[in-house]
Structures are given as structure tokens and as C-alpha cells.
Amino acid sequence: MQAETDVPAYRIWGTDNVIYGPVALPTLVNWVREQRVTAATWIHVGEEDRWQKAADISQLQMFFKPKSASGPTTLIANPQGDPLTVSPGSLRRMKVFTGMSDEQIKRFVSLMEIQEVRPWAEIIRQGSPGDAMYLILEGEVRVRLMIAGKESILTTLSEGEFFGEVALFDHGPRSADVIANKESVLLRIAAAALQKLIGDESELAAPFLFAISKTLIARIRADNRRYRDSIAFARAVHE
């Protein structure tokens, strides 16, 4: 049996300039299929002790062959009716789609519309009706509260993340403003459309709602940690 240390290891230079790994070949192949690793991604091959582009690594070349124009695409319309063509693979980079097949993604995004926003544009206003949620396809937004005329930033969200999801469950007023930090492309899904999906195609809605739930739980845990740390800090100051 081959020793574990003898298995060729790969390290990946991420778009965030962080090196990930080492990982074995099956994991690397899975990342290629998920489009987390592209043809232009730099990979360090441990066996050869050198960096190469993914497309130049023999074990991965089969995944980067040019695809025919008839490959899978998804059309999303903006409010003016103009279609945007994207691949299910690119959409799967968003956490809410990771558990879906290409066909499921196509069916799901047919319920959405694309919204392009300029920097500093107000996407959501605190107190307005909550009738939709948004996925960030490109760009960055900030969630804020205006307190005594001053902006207090609650969080910043970027590509692959989402906001406004609470509106899908309670249909209550918005609890904060959401402002575009830069030119952004959003996918909007109306609460009414999702409710119809839950009633008509629950097997399609389930993975989407499950992914939202996991993210919400992670956010709650992070808020709890910050709250705990702030209490500990306050107590330490007053001791």
C-alpha cells in the first residue's frame, strides 16, 4: 500500500492571494468541477516541486477542453426583458446553489430577475416592505443603520452572498438599509415566487432553503461570539 506521504500533493493559489492545501488529486478534481479552480489557476505540484497553471497539468487537462456553443447555459431576464446568459457552474459558486444539479439551477433561476446597480445606489431602505431577497452575482454591498444621522455599518457582503432573506419568511418591513459599495449585479427573487415554488416544487425549494438556513445559523453563531466578547471586554474594563 502506498504511504499517505507519497500521494502527490497540490497547493492552490486562490484569487484572494491565499494558498490552499495541500490537497490530494481527487479533491483538486472536485474543485475543478465546481469551478473553484479554473484553467488559469496556479497550482503547485508537490511531486515536481513547481508551480503550473491548472490547464498545463496533465491530470486536469481533460477538464479544460473547449466546450461547444451548445453547452449548458441559463438565461435570466432583467426588468427590461433583456436576457443575461450565465453557466450553472458559475452560479454554483454561490452557496445557495452548491447542492443543486445544473438542471435544478436552471429551473430555479427562471424565477429570478437580474438587477444591475450603480455604486452608492440604495437597494433596500429600512422600513420598506420586505417582498424579495437578493443574491450577489458581482460586486459588493453594505448593510447599515442610520443612527442620529450617522451611518453604522452592520456588515459588508460580496459575491456569492445574499441578503433580504428574512422577507421570504415573515414578510415584515426591512430592518436595515442595503447600499451598493461598487457597481454590482444582483439576482432578485420575489417572496411570492418562492412561496409558489415551495407549494408546486418542494424538492427544488428544499436545497435552497436548507442552504439559507445554514448561512443564517453561521451568522447567528458569529453574532453570539461578538456579543460574548463584548460582554467579556466590558467586564474586564470595569474590574
The answer to whether residue 233 is domain-embedded is no
- Model pLDDT, residue 219: 75
The answer to whether residue 9 is domain-embedded is yes
Whether residues 116 and 54 fall in one domain: no
| AA identity, residue 200 | D
* pLDDT higher than 50, residue 2: no
pLDDT in tens, 35-94: 788 888 999 988 788 899 988 888 787 777 654 433 444 545 455 545 556 666 667 777
CA distance linking residue 20 with residue 23, whole number of Å: 8
Whether residues 96 and 186 fall in one domain: yes
CATH of the domain at 22: 3.30.1490.40
Q: Which of 45, 64, 83 is the C-terminal boundary of a domain? A: 64
Q: Which of 38, 64, 90 is the C-terminal boundary of a domain? A: 64
pTM of the model: 0.58
Whether residues 142 and 169 fall in one domain: yes
Which of 25-39, 138-152, 180-194 has the weakest average pLDDT? 25-39
Whether residues 52 and 86 fall in one domain: no
CATH of the domain at 170: 2.60.120.10
Whether residues 81 and 37 fall in one domain: no
Whether residues 59 and 79 fall in one domain: no
Whether residues 166 and 53 fall in one domain: no
As given in the structure block, the three cell numbers for residue 31 are: 474543485
> According to the 3-state scheme, what is the secondary structure of the chain?
CCCHHHCCCEEEECCCCCEEEEECHHHHHHHHHCCCCCCCCEEEECCCCEEEEHHHCHHHHHHHCCCCCCCCCEEEECCCCCEEEECHHHHCCCHHHCCCCHHHHHHHHCCCEEEEECCCCEEECCCCECCEEEEEEECEEEEEEEECCEEEEEEEEECCCEECCCHHHHCCECCCEEEECCCEEEEEEEHHHHHHHHHHCHHHHHHHHHHHHHHHHHHHHHHHHHHHHHHHHHHHHHC
Whether residues 97 and 202 fall in one domain: yes
Average pLDDT of the chain?
A: 79
Whether residues 118 and 46 fall in one domain: no
The answer to whether residue 237 is domain-embedded is no
Tally the domains of the chain: 2
pLDDT in tens, 167-219: 777 778 898 999 999 999 888 888 888 888 888 888 778 878 887 888 778 77
Domain assignment of residue 152, given as a range: 74-227
Whether residues 117 and 183 fall in one domain: yes
Whether residues 15 and 88 fall in one domain: no
